[in-house]
Amino acid sequence: METRLAKMTKYAIKVLSERDEFARMLALEKEETLHLAAASGASIFQSGYVTSFSVMLEKCCNALCAHDDNEQHSEQR
């Protein structure tokens, strides 16, 4: 019985640790999303939908690719 209790305690501590790590990851993503939103000119004070880090990263990559394409077309002319 004590062995089972020790195992349960060990796993409960692991679950709590993982929960804390997940909360830190979400907080970091929220902070990075706000930085990207501010850098892109989006209002960070509006209530409502704030794009996720993944969506914002995709938009930045698309903008960089479009910028590179425009530079290549300009050089070819």
Average pLDDT score over the chain: 79
- pTM value is 0.46
Closest CA to 44 of 59, 27, 32: 32
Tokens at 55, concatenated: 């969506």
Band (13; pLDDT cuts 50, 70, 90): very high
